[in-house]
Every structure is written in C-alpha cells, then in structure tokens.
Chain A
Amino acid sequence: MLKSTIMNENRNIAVHCKGLTKTYGTGSTMVHALNGINLEVRTGEMMMLVGPSGSGKTTLISIIAGVLDRDGGECVVFGHDFMQMKSYEKTRYRGKHIGFVFQMFNLLPTLTAAENVAVPLLINGVKRKEAFDRAREILGRVGLGDLTCSLPDQLSGGQQQRVAIARAMLHNPKLIVCDEPTSALDHETGHKVMELLREMVVGVDRAFIVVTHDERIFEFADRIAKMDDGHITSVESMR
C-alpha cells in the first residue's frame, strides 16, 4: 500500500529539481542566480514562482523549460534530464512537450492570429492546412473565433495574450511555462487571462508553472514557491 502510494506520487511528479545552481559572469562580476534550488512540480497543478526581481524566477523556468543550461544540481522534466540530451534533441523535446506564454506575448507581428497559433504545429511538421484548421478551432475556444485573421497589432493586450495561450496549448504539451502572463495587462484583463489559463491549461497530465510577482493572481495557484536571492524560501499550498 505504502509502496503503491510512493509510486503514484513519483508518477505525478512532472518537474524535479535538486540542488540546482546557476551563475552568470565570472570573477568580480559573477552573479549566483540560483543557489541550490530544490523544487517539485506535480502534474495537474498550477505552481507559481514568486519573488522580487533578480530572485532567480526567470532563470529557474528557463532551466526547467530547457532553454538554458544549469551549472550544477539536478533537473528532471517528465523523466528527462536536458543535460543528457544533445542540443537538437532538447529543441525537439521543447517543440513537442513544452508550451510557452511570454510576458510580451512574442507573437510574430507579420503573422495573423491563426498563423501565430499554428507555429508550434508547423515546427513539428504538421501540414499547413491541418495546422491552421486546428489553430482556428482553438482560437474559437479562447473566444477569438472571429479574429483569426487579425494581426497582433490589431488586437488588444488581452486578446494577444489569449492568442499566446492558444499557441502554447495547441500541440497539447505536457508542461506549460508562463513568464509574467499578466504584467502587461490591466487587472480585469489579467484576471480573465488567468481564469482562461486555469480552465484550459490545468489538467491531470499536465504541469503548469507561472512566474509572476503580481499578487492579484496568487489566488489562481495551487501552490506558490517564494524565491529570494536564488533560493526557494517557502512553498505554500493554496488549496
């Protein structure tokens, strides 16, 4: 019984970080961005990383998402250690299993909403027609069904973030990382975006990490890890 519970718990762990370290620069300019981070993120939960600027939140999700290499410690994402992978394997893994939502949305300005959303599928080699059909469908689900042909600069900040969420979701990734998803939005729009994220993203097979220092959205988290000076100072359960 005890063994089965432990196995189930292990199966539920999406991200496992232990003693994670990262430094930038050398000599007198050396900055210790992460000083031995221990963190577990489970599937089906929304984990928020909060803390002041420079506390290491962005560095931590960059390493978890496989866009930055760590200096020391362990970081395993759904059983995969990025340090053991070749560069192209890591890139392919990100393309298939990780979705990104950025603070400034990072929508390609010359592509329409549907084209932007279709990008992850196109990268993964899905045919253009199928990719656009699926993109239009998911845009309908995030309430932008009639704006599929709009360019990013024709959309409001909230609409752009919805497009970004649709893009992050389209290829059904196992892990979604969001960097300050509401900081460029007003309170009401930010609230709606978080409601949408909770509704669409959080699922039993998926882990969800949000970096933020917007206290107004803490209520959406399942757990909150507070960071300061490259350490996790506390992990608080909100449910």
Chain B
Amino acid sequence: MNFIALKMLMGNRAKYLGIIFGLAFASLLITQQSSIFVGLMTRTYSFLTDTSLPDIWVVDKKVQYIDDLKPLKETESLRVRSVEGVAWAVPLYKGLLKARLPNGNFQSCNVIGLDDETLIGGPPGMIEGKLSDLRQSDAVIVDSVSIKGRLARVLPDGRRVPLEIGDTMELNDHRAVVVGICRVQRPFQSQPVVYTTFSRATIFAPRERKLMSFVLVKAKPGQNLQKLCRRIETRTGLAAYTAEKFKNLTVRYYMKYTGIPINFGITVVLGFIVGIAIAGQTFYNFTLDNIRYFGTLKAMGATDLLLLRMILLQAALVGSIGYGLGVGAASALGSLSGKTELSFRMPWQLLLISAVAVMIICAASAAISIRKVVRLEPAIVFKS
C-alpha cells in the first residue's frame, strides 16, 4: 500500500509541489537564519579562534567578554609565569585605534600587540610576508580583507587600490608600514585587524597607566587546565579562562545583552510557523481532496493503522524532499556568500535541529490529516 500512498500523493502535482515548497521554504529559513546567527556568534570570539596557541587567557576579573577590555599592569604577566604548571605566559595588547586613511577619512582598527620576543598570538595564516617581519621598524601586518576594503586607497575616480606591502598608514598619528598580509576570521564588527609588536602597540595606543589586555598562558604538559586556571586566579587575583570557556563567556554575553538572538529567533520561529501554515494546510487540503478515496479504502478493508502508515509515509516523503531542498538551498546561499561580509556557519548540529523542526511540521500536518481520516465514517462512500 506504500506504492498506492505515494501515487496518491504525487498524482496531485500542484498540492505535492505546494507541500514540498512550504517545507523547503521553512527548512531554508530555519537553516539559513540559524546559520547566520551561528556565524555571527562565532565572529564574536573570532580573535580567540585565531589565537589558538595559548591554553589559558588571563584577564581582569570584571571582563565579561573578549572585547570588554580592562587593561592590566604589565607586571601581571610575570606573576602569572610564577604559577606552578605554567610553561610560558606572554602579554598581549588588544585595542581599537584609529587609522587615518590617505583620503583623510578615519577607520577604527583592531590593533593586536604581540609579545616582542616570541610574537605569540599572531595571525593564523600569512598570505604575504612573514610574522618575523614585525621586527622591522614601524611594522604592521594587515588582514587580507581590509586591504581591499576599508583600508584600501580610494582614487579620485572612485577606484579602490588595495594596500600593499611597503605602503604606509597612520595609526593614531604614528607612522606604520605594512610588512605583511595575513588571513584572519572576520571579527564581529568587521573592523580591519592590524598586528604589531606589544611595545609598538603601546606607542600607537593613547597613553594610559595600564596597557596590557591579556596574559596568554601555555600550560606545562599533563596539566589539568581547570585546576591551573584556579591556581592562577588564587595567586594573582585575576580571572583565568580556558579558550573554550572564554568563548562561551563571550557568546553568553552577546546572547544576554544584545537583541541578536531575539531578532534571529523571531525569523526562525516565523520560518517554522510559515512551514506549518503552508505545508500543514496544503497537506490537510490534500487529505480533504482525497477523503472520498480514503473512505473507499476504509470501506474496502483498509484499517486505521494502514491509513495512518500511508499518511505518515506521505508526510515523511514530502518532509525529506522539502528538508533536502531547503538545506541544499541554504548551503548554496552560504557557499555563494563565502566571500562577502555575511557571516554563515552551518555545523551539523544545525542540520539536525532543522531536520527536527521539519519533522515536527510534518508530524503536525500529518496528525491533523490522520485525525480526519481516523474519524472518517466509511459510509461516506455511499454518499453521492
């Protein structure tokens, strides 16, 4: 009877495609919006992802997320080094400094100052130049997206000329020379990322009493990171987080204090509701259109269980196709937007959530139809 169920479904081409369209649209909306949300949340801790070498990040106790900078005294890195189980601890500067562009405009940049000796905390990949080139005078390394975008020179005719190695720029009224181009993950606010040494960053930065943003810590082999964090906290009075915990802290902050989850949540819920409305109603209409035939099958001996199986099979088929098309379209959109500013990240968990959402839509649609068919009196077949 599975064969009959599928032929009943596919025979009504308009309704069949209508249900699939509804489910595909719902699946697309849920998956795509969730992927953008996840992508955006991933960007909130992109700097943590890029800086993968340290095991532990030491910050002021009041810091709530990665960009919530509360400077520390430079001597704190020495205190951290003295904690048992620490292999090395280096200072890192992170701050928003203004770059003056050749056309006179200003652009805020994320300036990262790396430990002068080790250059730990550098970009995850170099496209041109070497990280050690930062040891040259006034040297900075700029991310590959910004050189063509926000930091590009704009000619009088409007054309943009990418920044190149050897070009100079002004960072907070200080000369900076581009010595390398690196690859980084897009930050949440999409500012250019500029790497330099810690000592040079403190020259670029406005004068303050304390200028160190983080102490990056590598644990000795075999150390329990949680215990080491607690030891550092006890000894220094600072906060110490593993990279994973710092990421969670950052995401939680954005979830709690920004409207981002609500905005995306509304769209995802709308996708779900639209899915139920379109697919549910079309599926129900399909059942109503076929009610005489379901009655005929019932009169001819089809049990409620058999009809239930037929409807569930129909729902499962349209659900699978709709889900596949929706997720496929979302992936394609994600792939096409790969080189744009759009944040898009589709982990497997999201595919699972989307699948569950589509399953719920299908189950709800099928349940309404099943109720109608189970309550159907087979005597309907004798009504003309």
Pick the residue among A91, A111, A128 that contacts B303 (CB under 8 A): A91
CA distance in complex: A108, B296 (Å): 9
Tell me how far the C-beta of A85 lies from the nearest C-beta in chain B, rounded to whole angstroms: 13
* A95 and B300 contact, CB distance less than 8 A: yes
Asked if B4 contacts A65 (CB within 8 A), the reply is no
B11 proximity list for chain A (CB < 8 A): 109-111
Q: How far apart are the CA atoms of A95 and B296 in the complex, in Å? A: 11
Q: Is A68 at the interface (CB under 8 A from chain B)?
A: yes
State A180–B383 Cα separation when bound (angstroms).
Answer: 11
Query: B293 touching A91 by the CB < 8 A rule?
Result: no
Q: In the complex, which residues of chain B have a beta carbon less than 8 angstroms from the beta carbon of A98?
A: 301
Q: A67-B377, A88-B303, A123-B306 are in contact. Are A110 and B7 (CB under 8 A)?
A: yes
Complex-state Cα separation, A61 to B382, whole angstroms = 9
Pick the most buried of A88, A110, A111: most chain B CB atoms within 10 A of its CB.
A110
Check A92 against B293 for contact (C-beta < 8 Å).
no
- B13 to A: closest C-beta gap in Å: 9
What interface size band does chain A fall in? 20 to 34
Question: Is A38's CB within 8 Å of the partner chain B?
Answer: no
Query: In whole angstroms, what is the CA distance A177 to B296 when docked?
Result: 13
Chain B positions within 8 Å of A208 at CB level: none
State in angstroms the CA–CA spacing of A153 and B85 once bound together.
Answer: 83
Determine if A62 and B1 form an interchain contact, defined as CB atoms under 8 angstroms apart. no
A124 to B302, CA, bound (A): 8
Q: Which of B1-28 contact A (CB under 8 A)?
A: 1, 3-4, 7-8, 10-12
Provide the main secondary structure of the chain B interface: helix
The yes or no answer to B231 lying at the interface (CB within 8 A) is no
A96 touching B301 by the CB < 8 A rule? yes
List the A residue with the shortest CB-CB distance to B9: A110
- Interface set, chain A 80-110, CB cutoff 8 A to B: 87-88, 91-96, 98, 100, 102-104, 106, 108-110
Chain B residues within 8 Å of A87, by CB: 304
A-chain residues with CB within 8 Å of residue B3 when the two chains form the complex? 122, 128
Complex contact B292–A106 (CB within 8 A): yes
Contact A179 B4 (CB under 8 A): no
Residue of A nearest to B292 (CB): A106
The answer to whether A67 and B4 touch (CB under 8 A), given A88-B303, A124-B301, is: no
Contacts A62-B379, A102-B381 hold; do A110 and B8 have CB atoms under 8 A apart? yes
* A106-B296 in contact (CB<8A): yes
Q: Is there a chain B Cβ closer than 8 Å to A148's Cβ?
A: no
Cβ proximity bits A167-190 to B, threshold 8 Å, 1 near / 0 not: 000000000000110000000000
The answer to whether B382 and A58 have CB atoms under 8 Å apart is yes
Which residues of chain B have C-beta atoms less than 8 A from A104's C-beta? 384
Contact residues in A for B384 (Cβ distance below 8 Å)? 103-104, 180
Which single member of B4, B299, B377, B382 contacts A122 (CB below 8 Å)?
Answer: B4
Q: Which residues in window 27-41 of A have CB below 8 A to B?
A: none
A193 proximity list for chain B (CB < 8 A): none
Q: In the complex, which of the residues A94, A108, A109, A115 contacts B301, with contact meaning CB atoms closer than 8 Å?
A: A94
Q: What is the bound-complex CA distance between A62 and B377, given in angstroms? A: 11
Within 8 A of A (CB), among B272-326: 292-293, 296-306
The residue of chain A having its C-beta at the shortest distance from the C-beta of B384 within the complex is A103
Q: Is the CB of A119 within 8 A of B297?
A: yes
Please provide the chain A residues from 99 to 157 with a CB less than 8 Å away from any CB of chain B in the complex: 100, 102-104, 106, 108-111, 115, 119-120, 122-124, 128
- Smallest beta-carbon distance A22→chain B, Å: 11
Closest to A120 in B: B300
Question: Is B303 within 8 A of A108, CB to CB?
Answer: no
Min distance, Cβ A63 to any Cβ of chain B, angstroms: 9
Given A106-B293, A106-B381, also A115-B4 (CB < 8 A): yes
Nearest opposing residue in chain B for A104, CB measure:
B384
**Which A residues touch B304, using CB under 8 A?**
87-88, 91
Give A168 Cβ to nearest chain B Cβ, in Å: 9
Question: Cβ of A119 and Cβ of B300 under 8 Å apart?
Answer: yes
Inter-subunit contact A108/B377 (CB<8 Å): no
Cβ of A67 and Cβ of B8 under 8 Å apart?
no
| Contact yes or no, A67 B379, CB < 8 A | yes
| Residues of A close to B1: CB separation below 8 A | 122-123
**B24-62: which have CB < 8 Å to A?**
none
At the interface, yes or no: B378 with Cβ under 8 Å from chain A? Answer: yes
CA separation between A98 and B382, bound complex, in Å?
14
Task: Report the bound CA distance from A65 to B301 in whole Å.
Answer: 11
A62 to B383, CA, bound (A): 10
Is the pair A91, B301 in contact by a Cβ cutoff of 8 Å? yes
Q: Mark interface residues in B363-384 (1 if CB within 8 Å of A CB, else 0).
A: 0000000000000011101111
Check if A68 sits within 8 Å of B377, measured CB to CB: yes
Select one of B12, B296, B302, B383 contacting A110, CB under 8 A: B12
Select the residue from B8, B303, B304 with max chain A CB neighbours within 10 A: B303
Q: How far, in angstroms, from A110 to B12 measured CA to CA in the complex?
A: 7
Give Cα distance in the complex from A128 to B4, angstroms.
10
A236 CB to closest chain B CB (Å) equals 24
6 contacts between A and B (CB under 8 A): A62-B379, A103-B382, A108-B8, A110-B12, A111-B4, A179-B382
On B, residues with C-beta under 8 Å from A are 1, 3-4, 7-8, 10-12, 292-293, 296-306, 377-379, 381-384
Task: Please give 18 more A-B residue pairs, beta carbons under 8 A apart, in addition to A68-B378, A106-B292, A109-B11.
Answer: A62-B379, A67-B298, A68-B379, A87-B304, A91-B298, A94-B378, A95-B300, A100-B300, A103-B384, A106-B296, A106-B381, A108-B4, A110-B11, A123-B1, A123-B300, A123-B302, A179-B382, A180-B384
